[in-house]
Chain A
Amino acid sequence: MSKVKTGDYMAEAVPGFDHRTAIEEAARCLLCHDAPCSQGCPAGTDPGKFIRSIRFRNPKGAAETIRENNVCGGSCAYVCPYDRLCEEACSRCGIDRPIEIGKLQRYAVEQEKAYRMKVLKAPRGPKRGNVCCVGAGPASLACAAELAKAGYKVTVYEREKKAGGVLSYGITPARLPQKVVDQDIKSVSGLGVEFVFGTQIGKKLTVQDLLDKNGYDAVFLGVGLWKSGTVGVPGEDLKNVLRAVDFLKKARESGGYRQVAGKKVIVIGGGDVAMDCATTARLNGADVQIWYRRTIAEAPADIDEIHYALSLGIGITTNFAPKRFDGKDGKVEFAEFTGRDGKSAAKAACDFVILAIGQQAEDLAALADGADKSAKGCLAVRKGGKTSLPGVFAAGDIVNGGKTVVEAVADGKTAAAAMIAYLEKKADRAKSVKPVKTAKKGVK
């Protein structure tokens, strides 16, 4: 009999390092010249440097290296797909196994909290300009922090009650504890960034209003993808056929989703979100089965997340796509599947179905009327995240169609750099206009 792990929905799945075990792990690091791990991070985090700091007894320096580069460094330490980024690049793979870079990053960020460090500081003096970010997910947080560090006054508009976006509403707390997300958010609010919660842009207030009426010099859109994709098969509207984002959000808001306890739950999908739905349901006491239309090799989910799901005793059936959902009294009772080979068929009894088959953009016309869209139905941007609307920038899932947290951070930073360039150019133009006017007056 294989030993299956149990756990609590709110408890951290993997324990972290203490001072001693962190140094032991850091001592395994080969301290490479031109460290390959440091080239493996999309957000430009420098693991070679922060691991060296841990190794040489400077955990505070390690925390600085991480936080200065990535305001979501705490969350990334938990949810980054290390196995295909820095850890895959690790030279130690040629000897035995890579350094546990993610866990060392987590240790370093924990030191920041333990020592009550305030790594990021906004420059003193008058603000250079007034900008705002829409949405408070990883891309917006990264963008807001860069702008605040550069001396701009930044306001973040968020329709939910809490910042963090997908970090706070989309991931199992066992995989990403809220306290870690909160620490990341604190590093941004500590820069003087103001958060306005419960305000959705695109309803009463439009992006154009923000520029024209509210006096923002530029606007960043990092709203993410919050509309669940549908399969387009009969029975999707039955009761207890849930959308992944709604399910995860509700579970996080309520500290669990006990309705699924003791019930049969079918999760449909093969991405990280599907794994999060499955583990969330399992940790809330459900009997969970994942059904995926392709193979494990083709699944977009991180292999660690698949391992984690399996370790909890969750089964995965591959090469089966949903055909229809059936039920009694409007409530789902069966899911029928068709095999990828066109010959196989399956029918499974269930109490809940969770559809985790990708997310889509919500109403883009309401958010940013007239902005160009990409083929995927996301916002189309040029280099630096410039949308087709002047002064409006965008990055993160709403542009790339849903990638990793670390890529959202990287793109948020890039957009911030482009915004700063845009704002500086705008300020220069404003300055150069004035002397011309006075010259004219002089002529008169």
Chain B
Amino acid sequence: MAVKKDLSIDFLGKHCENPFFLSSSPVGGNYDMVAKCYEAGWAGVFFKTVGIFVADECSPRFDMTNKDGVPWLGFKNMEQISDKPTEQNFEYMFRLKRDFPEKILVATIMGASDEEWTKLAKMCDQVGADLIEGNFSCPQMTSHAMGSDVGSDPKLVERYSRAVTKATKIPFIAKMTPNITSVEPSARAAAKGGSKGVSAINTLKSITNIDLENLTGMPVVAGKSSISGYSGAAIRPVALRFVVDLLKDQELMGKGVEISGVGGIETWRDALEFLLLGARNVQVTTAIMQYGYRIVEDMISGLSHWMDERGYDHVEDFLGLALGNMIPAEDLDRSFQILPAFDKKTCVGCGRCYVSCYDGAHQAIDWDEKKRRPVLIEDSCVGCHLCLNVCPVKDCITPGEVRWKRRPKKTPPVMQRQYD
């Protein structure tokens, strides 16, 4: 019998059956799609952003990056908010909440003025949305009164947050843009305006590729292209960084602001990373565009197994456990070096560690040409572990001897043991 744990967790006072949500995007843009995603097991949806503005989209509108034959490392889209009439979207949301009352429906909205934000908030009220998310972060709007241009201006974020929170009692979440030096000023402004939650992050402004035939960016739209949002696995590290910044912010945490993590999540492990930092749930789009709603099955199963293995009964029990271990660079213990250990038996003799160490690090590996094996020059090695990261054989190069720069400590430093 499959292991299944209680994955439920509250978010802004709403009971969610698990922490897995669709983010506001094409994957949750009408009734049938959302109904199907609910049935697949997602706890809820951040419905595709609704505005008074109805988008007129270009074609084609997507591109991706790849490396060494692996597609979709990152994904670029040029879509804006919903291209359906405002009323139509709210009608979908009304029926979804009526037919799936136990699922969490978050209405994501975007206005261009106080009046529009207020009007949209009231419509959310009418359809019974559980939560409202304000999209302050779409980087490819055709109007500068909306999207990430708003999100990078704390004054506008506060003003529009207030327009919503005055119009309705439904808890409000501000969705942040990463196209900014630091996200905290905008998040604080949102909290000042009455928002209770923050979603981070929206897409990164990007140019994925240049078409060498047409001499323009991709996707090629009538021979031209534009800078637009980058998402997918490639941006997860950026998202994790912004989430940590938010969760470490005293002002936000003091106000009890709750964080929803977004960016490059494909597996239960990706999701767990956000939860371990303290996000209360995660949102997914790009992986669904690539693989479909079914990926939630392994998120539920994988997280259940991890909890079972670790003896956790509730998601709350491990939320934020990794946050305290993220510290400023100046506070890291720099008193030791961990030398790499080479397993000569599993080594296949490719010499990649030798090449990388010579050309990219500290010339600390000698190459035994006869045996085709690396030989560590301990005096030159600084313990950077470039060799370990470049080695193609699992567990061939591993962390080895600890060399103390100063007086040795009694206990060895905590080190990574599991390498995928």
**A contacts, CB < 8 Å to B:** 18-21, 23, 27, 31, 33, 49, 52-53, 56-58, 60-61, 64, 68, 115, 119-121
Interface centre among A19, A31, A56 (most CB of B within 10 A): A56
In the docked arrangement, what's the CA distance between A20 and B294, Å? 23
Between A and B, 5 residue pairs with Cβ closer than 8 Å are: A18-B394, A33-B292, A56-B299, A57-B269, A121-B1
| Contact between chains at A57 and B268 (CB < 8 Å) | yes
Known: A53-B298, A61-B302. A68 touches B2 (CB 8 A): yes
| Contact between chains at B267 and A61 (CB < 8 Å) | no
Residue from the list B2, B309, B394, B420 in contact with A64, Cβ < 8 A = B2
Across the interface, name the chain A residue whose C-beta is closest to B394. A20
Known: A52-B294, A58-B305. A68 touches B1 (CB 8 A): yes
**B330 CB, min distance to chain A CBs, angstroms:** 34
Q: What residues on A are CB-neighbors of B302 within 8 Å? A: 53, 56-58, 60-61
**A430 CB, min distance to chain B CBs, angstroms:** 29
Known: A20-B394, A121-B1. A58 touches B420 (CB 8 A): no
**B contacts, CB < 8 Å to A:** 1-3, 70, 266-269, 291-292, 294-295, 297-299, 301-302, 305, 309, 394-395, 420
Known: A19-B420, A57-B269, A60-B305. A52 touches B1 (CB 8 A): no
| Contact between chains at A19 and B266 (CB < 8 Å) | no
In the docked arrangement, what's the CA distance between A244 and B266, Å? 51
Across the interface, name the chain B residue whose C-beta is closest to A120. B1
Residue from the list B267, B291, B294, B297 in contact with A57, Cβ < 8 A = B267
| Contact between chains at B267 and A64 (CB < 8 Å) | no
Q: What residues on A are CB-neighbors of B266 within 8 Å? A: 56
| Contact between chains at B3 and A60 (CB < 8 Å) | yes
Q: What residues on A are CB-neighbors of B394 within 8 Å? A: 18-21
In the docked arrangement, what's the CA distance between A60 and B269, Å? 13
In the docked arrangement, what's the CA distance between A56 and B270, Å? 10
Known: A20-B420, A31-B291, A64-B301. A56 touches B3 (CB 8 A): no
Q: What residues on A are CB-neighbors of B269 within 8 Å? A: 57
Closest 6 CB pairs of A and B: A58-B302, A61-B301, A56-B298, A58-B298, A60-B305, A20-B394
**A155 CB, min distance to chain B CBs, angstroms:** 23
In the docked arrangement, what's the CA distance between A58 and B272, Å? 13
In the docked arrangement, what's the CA distance between A64 and B4, Å? 12
In the docked arrangement, what's the CA distance between A115 and B309, Å? 9
In the docked arrangement, what's the CA distance between A60 and B298, Å? 10
4 additional contacts (CB under 8 A) given A53-B298, A53-B302, A121-B1: A52-B298, A60-B301, A61-B2, A68-B1
In the docked arrangement, what's the CA distance between A121 and B3, Å? 11
In the docked arrangement, what's the CA distance between A68 and B269, Å? 24
**B240 CB, min distance to chain A CBs, angstroms:** 17
Known: A20-B420, A31-B291, A58-B267. A53 touches B301 (CB 8 A): yes
**A112 CB, min distance to chain B CBs, angstroms:** 12
Across the interface, name the chain A residue whose C-beta is closest to B266. A56
Q: What residues on A are CB-neighbors of B291 within 8 Å? A: 31
Across the interface, name the chain A residue whose C-beta is closest to B395. A18
Across the interface, name the chain A residue whose C-beta is closest to B70. A27
Q: What residues on A are CB-neighbors of B294 within 8 Å? A: 52
In the docked arrangement, what's the CA distance between A68 and B301, Å? 14
In the docked arrangement, what's the CA distance between A33 and B305, Å? 26
**A115 CB, min distance to chain B CBs, angstroms:** 8
Q: What residues on A are CB-neighbors of B292 within 8 Å? A: 31, 33
In the docked arrangement, what's the CA distance between A120 and B1, Å? 6
**A427 CB, min distance to chain B CBs, angstroms:** 24
Across the interface, name the chain B residue whose C-beta is closest to A53. B298
**A48 CB, min distance to chain B CBs, angstroms:** 10
Across the interface, name the chain B residue whose C-beta is closest to A31. B291
In the docked arrangement, what's the CA distance between A61 and B395, Å? 24
**A236 CB, min distance to chain B CBs, angstroms:** 49
Q: What residues on B are CB-neighbors of A27 within 8 Å? A: 70
In the docked arrangement, what's the CA distance between A21 and B297, Å? 23
Q: What residues on A are CB-neighbors of B309 within 8 Å? A: 115
| Contact between chains at B1 and A61 (CB < 8 Å) | no
In the docked arrangement, what's the CA distance between A119 and B305, Å? 12
In the docked arrangement, what's the CA distance between A27 and B66, Å? 14
**A66 CB, min distance to chain B CBs, angstroms:** 12
Interface centre among A19, A120, A121 (most CB of B within 10 A): A19
Q: What residues on B are CB-neighbors of A33 within 8 Å? A: 292
In the docked arrangement, what's the CA distance between A52 and B1, Å? 19
Q: What residues on B are CB-neighbors of A119 within 8 Å? A: 1-2
In the docked arrangement, what's the CA distance between A64 and B395, Å? 26
In the docked arrangement, what's the CA distance between A64 and B294, Å? 17
Q: What residues on B are CB-neighbors of A49 within 8 Å? A: 297
| Contact between chains at B267 and A56 (CB < 8 Å) | yes
Q: What residues on B are CB-neighbors of A60 within 8 Å? A: 3, 301-302, 305
**A62 CB, min distance to chain B CBs, angstroms:** 9
In the docked arrangement, what's the CA distance between A56 and B309, Å? 18
In the docked arrangement, what's the CA distance between A58 and B302, Å? 5
In the docked arrangement, what's the CA distance between A58 and B269, Å? 9
Residue from the list A52, A53, A64 in contact with B3, Cβ < 8 A = A64
In the docked arrangement, what's the CA distance between A68 and B1, Å? 7
**B321 CB, min distance to chain A CBs, angstroms:** 19
Across the interface, name the chain B residue whose C-beta is closest to A121. B1
Across the interface, name the chain A residue whose C-beta is closest to B418. A19
| Contact between chains at B268 and A56 (CB < 8 Å) | yes
**B36 CB, min distance to chain A CBs, angstroms:** 13
**B111 CB, min distance to chain A CBs, angstroms:** 37
